[in-house]
Amino acid sequence: MIQQYANPARFNRLAETLMPWLAWPAALLIAGGLYFALFASPPDYQQGETVRIMYVHVPAAWMAMFVYTSIAIASAVGLIWKHPLAHLSAQAAAPIGACFAFLCLLTGSLWGKPMWGAWWVWDARLTSMLVLFFLYLGFMALNAAFDDPARGEKSAAVLALVGFVNVPIIKFSVDWWNTLHQPASVLKMSGPAIHASMQVPLFMMAVGFTLYFFAVLLVRMRTLMLARRVRALTMAGLRRAGGSVASEAGGVS
Partner 1 sequence: MGGYAGFVWTAYGVVAVVMAGLLIASRRALRARQREIAALEAASPRRRARGGGGTP
Q: Enumerate binding residues for partner 1 (CB under 8 A).
A: 34, 38, 43, 48-50, 52-53, 56-57, 60, 95-96, 99, 102-103, 106-107, 110-111, 113-114, 212, 215-216, 219-220, 222-223, 226-227, 229-230, 233-234, 236-237
Strand partners, 48: 44
Name which of 43 and 242 has its Cβ closer to partner 1. Answer: 43
Nearer to partner 1, 37 or 169 (CB): 37
How far is it, in rounded angstroms, from Cα 64 to Cα 80? 24
Beta pairing partners, 44: 48
| Minimal distance, residue 178 CB to partner 1, in Å | 26
Alpha carbon distance 113, 122 (integer Å): 14
Q: How far is the CB of 204 from partner 1 (least distance, A)?
A: 14
Contact, 42 vs 189, CB < 8 A? no
CB of residue 80 to partner 1, shortest distance in Å: 28
What is the per-residue DSSP string for 91-105? HHHHHHHHHHHHHHH
Q: Smallest distance, Å, CB 189 to partner 1? A: 30
User: Where does residue 171 rank: exposed (0-12), middle (13-18), buried (19+ CB within 10 A)?
Assistant: middle
Rg (CA), the chain: 22
- Of the pair 6, 110, the CB lying nearest partner 1 is at 110
Rounded to the nearest whole angstrom, what is the least distance from the CB of residue 222 to partner 1 in the complex? 6
Closest Cα to residue 158, out of 145, 170, 168? 145
Shortest Å, Cβ 188 to partner 1 = 25
Residue 226: CB atoms within 10 Å: 12
Contact 92, 99 (CB under 8 A): no
Nearer to partner 1, 168 or 243 (CB): 243
112 or 169: CB nearest partner 1: 112
At residue 89's C-alpha, the angle toward residues 83 and 93, to 5°, is 160
CA distance 168 to 170: 5
Reported in sequence order, the residue ranges of the chain that DSSP labels E, i.e. its strands, are: none
Smallest separation (angstroms) from partner 1 to the CB of 123? 19
57/125 with CB nearer partner 1: 57
125 or 222: CB nearest partner 1: 222
